[in-house]
Amino acid sequence: MDSFRNAVALGHLFLRERVRPGDRVVDATCGNGHDTLFLAGLVGTEGKIFAFDVQAEALAATRQLLEEHHCLDRVQLFHVGHEEMAIHVTAPVRGVVFNLGYLPGSDKSCITRPETTRAALEQAADLIQPGGILVAAVYPGHEGGGEEAAAVEQWAGLLAPQQYSAWCSRQINRSSNAPYVVTVQKSTLKDSARHA
């Protein structure tokens, strides 16, 4: 797989670097289930994935894909917005993935939105364990996408550097509307001491 092909593939590269068999992780926007399936491969049979989406058809598609790949057993699906993540996921997780925007091939009016995305990002940053990461594929190109992208960057840009490392990866040989990746790593105690 070409990890530098697009924003989602690059996000997967970062997740592959951190997530290990047996880990607990969150897919905050499961959509057609491709990210959930990718995470299922990383965490293996002993791991656990909490997957959220507001659309019933997205959850059905995710369920079907995971069944086809015999890994539904390690996934818990939630038909609720990711802004309720902290109600359903109460113990620390190693990684969280957001793939923002709309479900490809579906209703383009059902998009992730700045306020709920921001609320979910805050909860995700609290939930990740030290050394864990949050990866967001951000799409500024559709209507409303620019405002959401700005909200994501504003949120990540204000995280305390002693506690989090926030990165933005853009493909500079594409239009400024091209999808990109925001990655946030939570510092370990050792990292924080180095910063002090």
Ligand X SMILES: C[S@@+](CC[C@H](N)C(=O)[O-])C[C@H]1O[C@@H](n2cnc3c(N)ncnc32)[C@H](O)[C@@H]1O
Piece of the chain touching ligand X by CB under 6 A; list 39-47, 69-77, 100-108, 154-162:
100-108
**CB-nearer residue toward ligand X: 30 or 75:** 30
Alpha-carbon distance of 94 to 3, in angstroms, equals 21
Q: Among 19, 25, 30, 89, indicate the residue that binds ligand X (CB under 6 A).
A: 30
32 binds ligand X (CB under 6 A): yes
Q: Among 34, 63, 118, 142, indicate the residue that binds ligand X (CB under 6 A).
A: 34
The string of DSSP codes covering 70-102 is T-GGGEEEE-S-GGGHHHH--S-EEEEEEE-SB
Q: Among 112, 183, 185, 187, indicate the residue that binds ligand X (CB under 6 A).
A: 112
140 binds ligand X (CB under 6 A): no
Contacts with ligand X by CB under 6 A: the residue count is 22
* Closest residue to ligand X using C-beta atoms: 31
Q: Which residue has the tokens 């990711």?
A: 82
Q: Which DSSP symbol is given to 188?
A: P
132 binds ligand X (CB under 6 A): no
SS3 185: strand
The string of DSSP codes covering 17-62 is HH--TT-EEEES--TTSHHHHHHHHHH-TT-EEEEE-S-HHHHHHH
Burial of 137 (0-12, 13-18, 19+ CB in 10 A): buried
Site string for ligand X, 62-91 (x = CB under 6 A): -------------------xxx--------
Q: Which residue ranges make up the site for ligand X (CB under 6 A)?
A: 29-35, 52-55, 58, 81-83, 99, 101-103, 110, 112, 116
